[in-house]
Structure 1
Amino acid sequence: MRMGLAANRLHHASEDAALFRWLRACESGIRELGLALHAVGRTHDAIVAAGMLGGHAGLRRYPYGREGGLMKLVAEVVGLDDVERRLDGAIYLIDPVDPSSTFPEAVALKRQCVIHGKPFISTVAAARDWIEQERILAGLAPDPAADRFFDPRGQVLALVAHDAMKPAMLDFAARHFELLSRFHQRVGTGTTGQRLNELAWSRGWPADTPWVRRYESGPLGGDAQIADRVLEKRCQRVVFFEDPHVARQHEADIQLLERAVTTVTDDAVCTTSPAMAARWAEGVERRQALRAL
């Protein structure tokens, strides 16, 4: 498996920066998985300078961002003729106030991951969550240090979907209804929340109790309301099925929710495509079964 890797300057500027917190928690998992990391220049150099991933053959250096390093990762997510330059997704630890996080290549990296159903991981929590998920799906034993990411009883889950993706969200919820029902609470924006409630009631959920707490619709500010919960650490996981092909009038609100997730990088996870959400659900179910043995 090969993943692109980049981190904004803040996230490798000190010994306790986000990039290093993630590596300290997950270096053994990276080695167990044989995960190749195609790292943009400054990120790669910071890892080497910190003495991390020493001897790991999968760590590969790319040019600095200003020299096209991130652009190369975008092309590799799409896929190139050289099989060694095809990425399975990207880990991009984002500082939401760093202007480079809004550069065209940064936006394109996420968009192409979503289009091709590949993981786009933008927070420390999501990166730790994903490594453990892939370890479990590879048949490795659960890491107790990752338990907090896989216990839905203590988490609030946001379920958000653009219009064209609402059928995919309903299908995801129907397939994984029991798992999603274990969360302490579910929240969602207007129309998506109503449709999910109707699905839950049809599955026997008490008719006088909403399965999803509904906020306003996205264009009326629902994304902003959920972003506030994320910032206050009252929402730990967001499943946000985005339609990357349609211009949205409330694009600023969508970006607000995404920026909120990256602001609390150690505490929030965002999943942005049905393929990745299904893989996450499979990992959670398998891990819980293993922990129950």
Structure 2
Amino acid sequence: MNDASDLKTHSPTLRIGLIANRAHQDAPDSALVQLFQRAAKSIQALDIEWVVVGRTLDAIQTHGLLELCSPHVRFPYGRDGGLMKLAAHVVNSDPHNSIDAVIYLIDPVDHSSIFPEALALKRQCVIHRKPFLSTLAAACEWLELEALAAGGRDHFSDGLGLDLQHESIALIAHDALKQSMLQIAEKHFSLLDRFAHRYATGTTGSLLNQLACRMKGEELGRHWVQPFLSGPMGGDAQIAELVLEKKIRRIVFLEDPHVARQHEADIQLLERAARTVTDFALVVSDGEGSDRWLRLLHERLS
């Protein structure tokens, strides 16, 4: 028997909450299975403790993926408060009980994804600046970039979506966060400039074009971003259509969770579009996360 002084305690680098709607976990080719298959090398390169809601963990075991999901903590089924516990751990400041990121593979036609606990889970992630990854593409890219940040170099994927001269990005920010968007865009201007197309809603698009004029000159900068209508007037819906047509893969959407939003349905529509093409599109919803993601994406391309 080991003496207590010989025992070592270990805190993982990352604690990741994990849940998938039923349509994304049952089939052998479900998004949950694809997550562990596609991101296997990234997961192995990271030091993760998974915090998994009950039925999702059952599915992982059924598919023979438990080795990639270890170590793990089991939370109750959703109907027994699993999502509520995830939300509580997102806001917990104790590093042994907090959750650093949430992967919630959302089926856009599953009504449980609009339950109060599901909406609160996403909102608290935004407030506490923790990644909320609701599509397969978002989860895979985030895990790959985090593995890169941890020093991994042998885990890279096939580079899907990394040829930026053939890619498009949407840049959206609520009123209180437009200056944050401009700061992020200026800091990562050289990377954003590599995209074939940049899209934005209303005022954000105009401000970004003014920034581009300062950075590139008026001739090259004035049409740097293609502006759509403002969000309340339908700009989110215009961008959502391009996401559904797989013309926009990445969306930086700086949300202000502290104000009432009369066009909440339009915001949800855009996120729903990304979740409809879950293996293609991704959304980053906070400034700190966007800054880190763009920095690591630049490093990945280098």
- Shorter-chain TM range is over 0.9
1:180 aligns with 2:192: yes
Range with bigger deviation, 246-255 or 205-214: 205-214
| Structure 2 residue 152 is the aligned partner of structure 1 residue 140 | yes
Pairing partner for 1:275 from 262, 285, 288: 288
Q: 1:86 aligns with which of 66, 85, 98?
A: 98
| Counterpart position of 1:285 | 298
Q: Structure 1 pair 123/205, CA: closer, same or farther in 2 (3 Å)?
A: farther
Whichever residue aligns with residue 281 of structure 1, its letter is L
What are structure 1's unaligned runs of at least 5 residues? none
Cα distance change of structure 1 residues 76 and 152 upon mapping to structure 2, 3 Å threshold? same
Q: CA deviation at 1:207?
A: 2.5
Matches within 5 A, 1:53-92: 53-54=66-67, 56-79=69-92, 81=94, 83-92=95-104
Q: Distance in 1 between matches of 2:48 and 2:283?
A: 21
Percent identity between matched residues is 51
Unaligned runs of 5+ in 2: 1-13
* Structure 1 residues 110-259: aligned runs within 5 Å: 110-141=122-153, 143-207=155-219, 209-259=222-272
Task: Find the residue that maps to 1:5 and give its secondary structure.
Answer: strand
1:26 is displaced (CA, Å) by: 1.1
Q: Distance in 2 between the 1:169 and 1:41 partners?
A: 38
Specify whether residues 246 and 47 from structure 1 end up closer, same or farther in structure 2 by C-alpha distance, changes over 3 A only: same
Alignment partners' CA distance in 1, 2:103 and 2:68 = 21
Point out the more displaced range, 67-76 or 207-216.
207-216
Residue 109 in structure 1 maps to residue 124 in structure 2: no
Question: What stretches of structure 1 move > 4 A for 4+ residues in a row?
Answer: none
1: CA distance between counterparts of 2:68 and 2:261? 46
What SS does the corresponding residue of 1:16 show, helix, strand or coil?
Answer: coil
Mean Cα displacement is larger for which, 49-58 or 243-252?
A: 49-58
- Check conservation: 2:244, 2:276, Cα contact below 8 A: yes
Amino acid at match of 2:108: P
Q: Is 1:10 aligned with 2:23? A: yes
Greater shift in the superposed pair: 233-242 or 134-143: 134-143
Report the Cα distance in structure 2 between the residues aligned to 1:18 and 1:39, rounded to whole angstroms. 15
Report the Cα offset of residue 282 of structure 1. Answer: 1.5
> Secondary structure of the residue that 1:203 maps to in structure 2?
helix
| 8 A contact 1:27–1:53 mirrored in 2 | no
AA aligned to 1:52 is: L
Structure 1 match to 2:107: 95
TM-score, normalization by structure 2: 0.92
Does the CA-based 8 Å contact 2:41-2:155 persist in structure 1? no
TM-superposed deviation, 1:57: 3.3
Q: Secondary structure at the match of 2:177?
A: helix
Residues 132, 142 of structure 1: 8 Å contact kept: no
- Going from structure 1 to structure 2, the CA distance change for 1:60 and 1:127 (only over 3 Å counts) comes to same
- Alpha-carbon distance in structure 2 between the residues aligned to 1:257 and 1:64: 28
Displacement of 1:143 in angstroms is 3.7
Aligned-pair distance for 1:56?
4.8
2: CA distance, partners of 1:120 / 1:86 = 14
Q: CA deviation at 1:150?
A: 3.2
Aligned length: 288
TM-score of the superposed pair, with normalisation by structure 1? 0.95
| Structure number with bigger Rg | 2
Question: How far apart in 2 are the matches of 1:96 and 1:146?
Answer: 27
CA-to-aligned-CA distance 1:139-158 (integer Å, 9 cap, x gap): 11154424124332221100
Compute the displacement of 1:206 (Å): 4.4
Q: Over the residues paired in the alignment, what is the CA RMSD in angstroms?
A: 1.4
CA distance in 2, matches of 1:35, 1:27: 12
